[in-house]
């Protein structure tokens, strides 16, 4: 009979263990805490089972010869094991609680757009900021194992955020042939490399506005799980019209068929379907191409390409499913149509006119200027011959006009969020956009704000990102000199922390 009880006990144990292991496998993170929690829960469950009067009486009814002594011994053993497990759990949680970092910042710009302060202490626990304090506080005040991080001779600020990147590509003379030579796996590995370059340049969050969605979402999720060193990624799903800038071009017909995305649409209803499909497969944000673009190898210019009904359907559908919409747009007519339809950001915005400025201000939509893309394509058009005549013409015209148009929008008070179009320019050079913004007349303070506070607002993450305040993620960068007096300081980020983890020091 003792054997029966033991067998029941073991079978019950395995059952509970299996249930939790399955639960764990389908959802819970399998970290050390998960492991300890799993075993504590397992013992608690067993204990509850043994202690439950009904189960006990059932057992005594079924096993009359099981003496009280047996039960006492069994409970003692379980109590001992539970105590040990409890101790292990406690030790593990103490070890987690001990993951405290205390940064001493020589100059701290905690909230871009407000004044920086000298000699500040930033306390970080479990990946988030718990306090920002005046003066240098002893790390020991925040726990025996708290780690001090000495940035006393640095300028410290929130990690920068780039609202327009393409992490799976880098434009160059061989981009076309690479596209045909490289496998999906090759491109995925390459994007891991680009993601790391971006993070090391001080960009702790990016919004990717155009890529193979399946690979992009895998990269985004891999970074979030801590498998890959990269910035937080907000991943887009693209919706564009047949023959438009977001459609494939410049290939033989059978390849055009093969590579045509399932979210290419024509007409309002079809664009509604495409938007829903993009969201179904994992898009955090919808990217549309309201007008023609520089890098399409077609003579379609840079005018409006998506019709008003198509724009309206995309916006309404995306917003109803909780997603924002970013519109690539150069010509004023396309910018204005997208703004009227309720778009959340205009990318490039090269030829915004007075009506565009009025609509920007009325709707509160952001302009993501991507001046670096303009400067890059001009340089490429002038110094290399890999661009087709159609692309070259647009590159020289649009590239040279972008900065002037941006200057007007900035002066007029349009909301600006930092974005580079990296992938046109090289990954890891994202900070160069700041120099171009400065050249166009934007103040250093506003540039830093556009890359932090404004960007966080654009992706609806102001509660977690964009400033260094209690409760926010510890996404923190540092540089040797103050970018508030010379913006080029952002080119040399020497310290990068994301979610409390130091990636570069
Ligand atoms: Zn782009």
Q: Are 445 and 113 in contact (CB under 8 A)?
A: yes
The alpha carbon of 222 and the centre of ligand 1 are apart by a number of angstroms equal to 22
The alpha carbon of 451 and the centre of ligand 1 are apart by a number of angstroms equal to 17
How far is 48 from 248, CA to CA, in rounded Å?
62
The alpha carbon of 238 and the centre of ligand 1 are apart by a number of angstroms equal to 11
Beta-carbon contacts of 154 under 8 Å, excluding residues fewer than 6 positions away, are 105, 106, 107, 478, 479, 480, 494, 495
The larger pLDDT score, comparing residue 428 to residue 300, is at: 428
Based on the fold, state whether residues 139 and 211 are members of the same structural domain: no
The alpha carbon of 467 and the centre of ligand 1 are apart by a number of angstroms equal to 26
Tokens of 131: 């306090």
Q: Is 468 helix (H, G, I), strand (E, B) or coil?
A: coil
Q: What is the pLDDT of residues 57-112, one digit of tens each?
A: 444 444 444 445 544 554 555 555 555 555 545 444 444 455 999 999 999 999 99
The alpha carbon of 108 and the centre of ligand 1 are apart by a number of angstroms equal to 32
Based on the fold, state whether residues 64 and 182 are members of the same structural domain: no
Based on the fold, state whether residues 221 and 153 are members of the same structural domain: no
The alpha carbon of 246 and the centre of ligand 1 are apart by a number of angstroms equal to 10
Beta-carbon contacts of 38 under 8 Å, excluding residues fewer than 6 positions away, are 20, 21, 24
The alpha carbon of 328 and the centre of ligand 1 are apart by a number of angstroms equal to 7
Q: What is the pLDDT of residues 339-372, one digit of tens each?
A: 999 999 999 999 999 999 999 999 999 999 999 9
Residue 236: is its pLDDT beyond 80?
Answer: yes
The alpha carbon of 327 and the centre of ligand 1 are apart by a number of angstroms equal to 10
Q: What is the pLDDT of residues 97-119, one digit of tens each?
A: 559 999 999 999 999 999 999 99
Q: What is the pLDDT of residues 5-14, one digit of tens each?
A: 455 555 555 5
The CATH number assigned to the domain holding 113 equals: 2.30.40.10
The alpha carbon of 165 and the centre of ligand 1 are apart by a number of angstroms equal to 6
Helix/strand/coil (H/E/C) assignment for every residue in 212-227: CHHHHHHHHHHHHCCC
Residue 33: is its pLDDT beyond 50?
Answer: no
Q: What is the pLDDT of residues 474-496, one digit of tens each?
A: 999 999 999 999 999 999 999 99
The alpha carbon of 479 and the centre of ligand 1 are apart by a number of angstroms equal to 28
The alpha carbon of 175 and the centre of ligand 1 are apart by a number of angstroms equal to 15
Based on the fold, state whether residues 342 and 419 are members of the same structural domain: yes
Based on the fold, state whether residues 457 and 475 are members of the same structural domain: no
pLDDT value, residue 234:
98
Based on the fold, state whether residues 329 and 370 are members of the same structural domain: yes
The domain boundary, picked from 97, 126, 149, lies at 97
The alpha carbon of 294 and the centre of ligand 1 are apart by a number of angstroms equal to 10
The alpha carbon of 420 and the centre of ligand 1 are apart by a number of angstroms equal to 8
Based on the fold, state whether residues 269 and 186 are members of the same structural domain: yes
The alpha carbon of 308 and the centre of ligand 1 are apart by a number of angstroms equal to 22
The alpha carbon of 393 and the centre of ligand 1 are apart by a number of angstroms equal to 18
The alpha carbon of 463 and the centre of ligand 1 are apart by a number of angstroms equal to 27
Lowest-confidence pick of 200-204, 352-356, 381-385 = 381-385
The domain boundary, picked from 44, 74, 97, lies at 97
Average confidence (pLDDT) over 229-251: 93
How far is 315 from 325, CA to CA, in rounded Å?
7
The alpha carbon of 166 and the centre of ligand 1 are apart by a number of angstroms equal to 6
The larger pLDDT score, comparing residue 31 to residue 248, is at: 248
How would residue 296 be classed by pLDDT, with cut points 50, 70 and 90? low
Q: Are 144 and 402 in contact (CB under 8 A)?
A: no
Based on the fold, state whether residues 129 and 189 are members of the same structural domain: no
Q: What is the CA 425 to chain-centroid distance, rounded?
A: 20
Q: What is the CA 408 to chain-centroid distance, rounded?
A: 30
The alpha carbon of 132 and the centre of ligand 1 are apart by a number of angstroms equal to 36
CA angle 156, 116, 124 (to 5 degrees): 45
Based on the fold, state whether residues 186 and 210 are members of the same structural domain: yes
Which of 5-14, 28-37, 272-281 is modeled with the greatest confidence? 272-281
The alpha carbon of 187 and the centre of ligand 1 are apart by a number of angstroms equal to 18
**From residue 222, how far is each of 138, 191, 217, 231, 428 by CA, in Å?**
36, 12, 8, 11, 19
**CA atoms within 13 A of residue 113's CA, in its CB half-sphere:** 12
The alpha carbon of 422 and the centre of ligand 1 are apart by a number of angstroms equal to 8
The alpha carbon of 239 and the centre of ligand 1 are apart by a number of angstroms equal to 13
Tell me the average pLDDT of the chain: 85
The alpha carbon of 417 and the centre of ligand 1 are apart by a number of angstroms equal to 14
155 - beta bridge partners? 107, 479
Residue 387: is its pLDDT beyond 70?
Answer: yes
The alpha carbon of 347 and the centre of ligand 1 are apart by a number of angstroms equal to 8
What residue spans of 281-414 are helical by DSSP H?
A: 308-320, 332-341, 354-363, 371-383, 389-411
The alpha carbon of 218 and the centre of ligand 1 are apart by a number of angstroms equal to 20
The alpha carbon of 39 and the centre of ligand 1 are apart by a number of angstroms equal to 48
The alpha carbon of 389 and the centre of ligand 1 are apart by a number of angstroms equal to 20
pLDDT value, residue 300:
67
Q: Is 403 helix (H, G, I), strand (E, B) or coil?
A: helix
The larger pLDDT score, comparing residue 197 to residue 29, is at: 197
366-368 and 345-348 strand pairing: parallel
Burial class (CB in 10 A: 0-12, 13-18, 19+), 346: buried
The alpha carbon of 245 and the centre of ligand 1 are apart by a number of angstroms equal to 11
pLDDT value, residue 499:
97
pLDDT value, residue 7:
54
Q: Are 230 and 216 in contact (CB under 8 A)?
A: no
How far is 182 from 268, CA to CA, in rounded Å?
35
| Nearest-10 Cα torsion for 367, 446, 395, 404 | 90
Based on the fold, state whether residues 143 and 195 are members of the same structural domain: no
The alpha carbon of 210 and the centre of ligand 1 are apart by a number of angstroms equal to 7
pLDDT value, residue 69:
53
Rg for the chain (alpha carbons), in Å? 28
Q: Which of 55, 44, 143 is nearest to 102 (CA)?
A: 143
pLDDT value, residue 155:
98
The alpha carbon of 441 and the centre of ligand 1 are apart by a number of angstroms equal to 23
The alpha carbon of 321 and the centre of ligand 1 are apart by a number of angstroms equal to 23
pLDDT value, residue 23:
41
Q: What is the pLDDT of residues 400-426, one digit of tens each?
A: 788 889 999 999 999 999 999 999 999
Based on the fold, state whether residues 199 and 134 are members of the same structural domain: no
Average confidence (pLDDT) over 18-37: 41
**CA atoms within 13 A of residue 431's CA, in its CB half-sphere:** 23
pLDDT value, residue 315:
98
The domain boundary, picked from 97, 114, 149, lies at 97
Based on the fold, state whether residues 477 and 461 are members of the same structural domain: no
Average confidence (pLDDT) over 261-289: 97
Q: Which of 397, 395, 415, 396 is nearest to 406 (CA)?
A: 415
The CATH number assigned to the domain holding 362 equals: 3.20.20.140
What residue spans of 265-307 are helical by DSSP H?
A: 268-280
The alpha carbon of 81 and the centre of ligand 1 are apart by a number of angstroms equal to 58
Average confidence (pLDDT) over 22-38: 39
The alpha carbon of 48 and the centre of ligand 1 are apart by a number of angstroms equal to 58
pLDDT value, residue 156:
98
The alpha carbon of 212 and the centre of ligand 1 are apart by a number of angstroms equal to 13
Residue 425 is given by DSSP the state B
How far is 166 from 154, CA to CA, in rounded Å?
31
The domain tally of the chain equals 3
Q: What is the pLDDT of residues 143-173, one digit of tens each?
A: 999 999 999 999 999 999 999 999 999 998 8
Rounded to 5 degrees, φ, ψ at 358 are -60, -45
How would residue 458 be classed by pLDDT, with cut points 50, 70 and 90? very high
Q: Residue 59 is part of which domain span?
A: 2-97
The alpha carbon of 250 and the centre of ligand 1 are apart by a number of angstroms equal to 18
Q: Which of 303, 299, 368 is nearest to 337 (CA)?
A: 303
């Amino acid at each position: 009979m003792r054997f029966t009880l033991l067998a029941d006990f073991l079978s019950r144990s395995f059952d509970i263990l299996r249930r939790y292991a399955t639960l764990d496998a389908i959802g819970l993170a399998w970290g050390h805490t998960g492991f300890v929690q799993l075993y504590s829960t397992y013992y608690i469950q067993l204990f509850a089972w043994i202690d439950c009067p009904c189960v006990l009486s059932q057992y005594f009814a079924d096993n009359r010869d099981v003496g009280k002594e047996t039960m006492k011994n069994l409970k003692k053993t379980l109590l001992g094991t539970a105590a040990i497990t409890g101790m292990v759990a406690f030790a593990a949680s103490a070890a987690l609680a001990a993951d405290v970092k205390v940064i001493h910042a020589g100059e701290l710009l905690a909230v871009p757009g407000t004044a920086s302060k000298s000699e500040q202490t930033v306390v970080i626990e479990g990946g988030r900021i718990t306090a920002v304090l005046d003066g240098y506080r002893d790390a020991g005040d925040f726990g025996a194992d708290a780690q001090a991080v000495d940035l006393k001779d640095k300028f410290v600020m929130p990690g920068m955020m780039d609202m327009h990147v393409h992490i799976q590509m880098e434009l160059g003379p061989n981009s076309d042939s690479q596209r045909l030579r490289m496998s999906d796996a090759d491109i995925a590995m390459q994007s891991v490399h680009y993601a790391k370059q971006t993070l090391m340049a001080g960009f702790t969050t990016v919004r990717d506005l155009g890529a193979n969605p399946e690979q992009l979402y895998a990269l985004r999720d891999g970074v979030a799980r801590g498998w890959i060193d990269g910035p937080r990624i907000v991943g887009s799903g693209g919706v564009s019209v047949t023959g438009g800038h977001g459609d494939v071009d410049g290939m033989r017909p059978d390849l055009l068929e093969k590579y045509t995305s399932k979210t290419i649409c024509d007409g309002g209803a079809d664009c509604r379907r495409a938007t829903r499909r993009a969201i179904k497969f994992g898009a955090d944000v919808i990217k549309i191409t309201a007008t023609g673009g520089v890098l399409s190898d077609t003579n379609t210019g840079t005018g409006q390409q998506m019709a008003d009904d198509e724009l309206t359907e995309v916006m309404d559908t995306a917003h109803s499913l909780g997603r924002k919409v970013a519109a690539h747009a150069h010509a004023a007519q396309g910018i204005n149509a997208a703004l009227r339809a309720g778009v959340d950001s205009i990318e490039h915005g090269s030829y915004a006119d007075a009506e565009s400025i009025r609509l920007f201000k009325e709707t509160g939509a952001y302009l993501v200027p991507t001046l670096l893309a303009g400067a890059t394509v001009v340089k490429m058009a002038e110094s290399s011959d890999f661009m087709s005549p159609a692309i070259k013409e647009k590159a020289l015209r649009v590239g040279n006009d972008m900065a002037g148009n941006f200057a007007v929008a900035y002066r007029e008070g349009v909301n600006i969020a930092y974005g580079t179009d990296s992938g046109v320019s090289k990954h890891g050079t994202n900070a160069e956009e700041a120099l171009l913004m400065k050249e166009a007349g934007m103040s250093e303070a506003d540039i830093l704000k556009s890359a932090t506070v404004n960007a966080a607002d654009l992706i609806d993450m102001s509660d977690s990102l964009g400033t260094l305040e209690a409760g926010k993620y510890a996404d923190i960068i540092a540089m040797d000199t103050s970018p508030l007096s010379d913006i080029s300081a952002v080119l040399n980020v020497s310290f990068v922390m994301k979610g409390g983890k130091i990636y570069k020091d």
